[in-house]
Amino acid sequence: MTQTHDIVGRGNRDGAALFQSWFTELNQTAESGGQAAYVFVMGSMAELLRVFDLPIVMPEINSLQTAVRRVAHEYLNQAEDYGYSPDICGYVKADVALQLNRGKHPMGQIPKPSLAVLTNACNTYIKWAEIWERMYDIPIFTLDIPGTRASGAQTWPGHPDFENDRRYVLVQIKELITVCENLTGKKFDIDRLREALQHANVMSRGWRRVLELNQSTPSVFNALTDGTIYLGVSNGFRGTPAGAKYFEDLVEEMEYKAAHGIGTMTDEKYRLLFVGVPCYPIFRRFNELFSEWGGTFVNSTYLWFAAGGVNQGYEYDLDRPLESFAEGVLIYVRNAMDSMFYQEQALAHMIDPFQVDGVVYHPIKSCRTVSTGLADNRRALMAKRDIASLFIESDMMDRRVVSEAQLKNRADAFFEGLASRRLAAR
């Protein structure tokens, strides 16, 4: 019989251990001078790169870790001294400094890139990879994935416009395979791809289920804090047996918690949605601004787009691995983009099943992809639903634009408003 103390909190414990093992492997790769592929969370192509045994480096995660570990300012300063503006993405600048310091990172040494694979899900990915191209003269592969053309205008398999996009993605994947073969000297093995896709299917299914289980009362995890741990595993271990097992275990844990009414550490009074990117320079404290009032985040758009859109739940057809991979990449990266540009409809539909009391918008200076439309999104959501919302700006990397006192004042006022709403509703 499952014991509560064994299962509750297992996702966080195992996630932290896996995360550490990932960086240990990267450190070993750096020390041995082995090959590594630099990829991004939206469209990492991890499933394919596993086939070539290429260790995966995610510079976005490297960068955010410098903020969580409170050393980001050192990296940002160095990149700004090099010439980069204070007004560009902090992730990029932290990575520039990391490269200038030969991979030195608080979690170990990061290997140099042998290959960079990026999608257009974020335009900064493209500019970022151009920096590596100049620094290292390595192959840069831009996998161009067309997104949704207009609100509600997604097309699906069989539609001529979808097929035009799908063919484009499939051809590019085949071109990427050739690049990987040339780089590694290994022949593409479709059975190994099939295995990686199978593991990814388990993860996608698990991710979707975990998010769904947070409809429970009390909520079974905090989307801002716990969710970020799950996200790290989802990205770093996509397409691996370890990643698949982790998500099977995580589903088991969350189902157990839901069945036994076990919530997060917060005494849950208010259920919130988080829209934007976390405030990593004061990550723990930022969450406390809400948890101190009994607020917990039951879902977040970050868990959609920063997971590469796999919350959409697409599962690969293993009988036609390559074609299905192209189709899946197109669908879930598009979903990631929709989670940033068109999220108001999804948010509106979540309010009732997740019993949401309020929505917290957190646009940041560093990321225009996520932040540009948030104010307008908020207006649109307010027009659709009578729901309280909070709009606070800071950054994911740069503590110079994080004002904790101001954030706290705004959060306090938000909760006072929530309390008044609740009283009025009685």
Partner 1 sequence: MTEPIFHEWQNRSLDDAIYECRELFEDTAFPTVQRWRDRGGKIVGHFQVNFPEEIVHAAGLLPFKVRGAPIEAVQADSRFGSYLCSILKTSLELALSNTVPLEMFVTHPICDAARNLAAVWGRNVSYPCQILYLPQNPNSPHSVIYLRGEYDRLKRSVEEISGAPITDEALRNSIAVFNENRALMRELYEIKKNTPWLVSADEAYVLVALAGLIPREEHNELLRSLLLRIRARGFRTQDKVRVVFEGGFCEQPPLDLIRAIARSCYVVDDDLLIGLRWLLQDVPLDGDPLTNLADAYLEKSSYSPVQHDLRKPKEKMLLARMRHARADAAIIMAAKMCEPGLEEQVAYTRALDEAGIPYFVGEFEESMTSFDSMEIQLETFVENILFS
| Least distance (Å) between residue 394 CB and partner 1 | 10
Q: Return d(Cα 202, Cα 384) in angstroms, integer.
A: 35
Contact 374, 393 (CB under 8 A): no
Smaller CB distance to partner 1: residue 142 or 215? 142
Smaller CB distance to partner 1: residue 48 or 143? 143
| Least distance (Å) between residue 99 CB and partner 1 | 13
| Least distance (Å) between residue 90 CB and partner 1 | 11
Smaller CB distance to partner 1: residue 18 or 129? 129
| Least distance (Å) between residue 224 CB and partner 1 | 20
Smaller CB distance to partner 1: residue 254 or 367? 367
| 421's tokens | 């709403």
Smaller CB distance to partner 1: residue 42 or 356? 42
* Binding interface with partner 1 (CB under 8 A): 82-85, 87-89, 92, 120, 122-124, 126-127, 130-131, 133-134, 140, 142-144, 146-151, 153, 160-161, 164-165, 167-168, 171-172, 175, 340-342, 344, 363, 365, 367-369, 371-377, 379-380, 393
| Least distance (Å) between residue 297 CB and partner 1 | 21
What residues pair up with 360 in beta bridges, in sequence order? 274, 390
| Least distance (Å) between residue 261 CB and partner 1 | 39
* DSSP of 120-150: SSSHHHHHHHHHHHHHH---EEEE-----SS
Burial class (CB in 10 A: 0-12, 13-18, 19+), 120: middle
β-pairing, 270-276 vs 358-362, is parallel
**Residue 40 Cα to chain centre, angstroms:** 9
Smaller CB distance to partner 1: residue 14 or 398? 398
Cα distances from 344 to residues 49, 208, 227, 383, in angstroms, run 34, 19, 21, 10
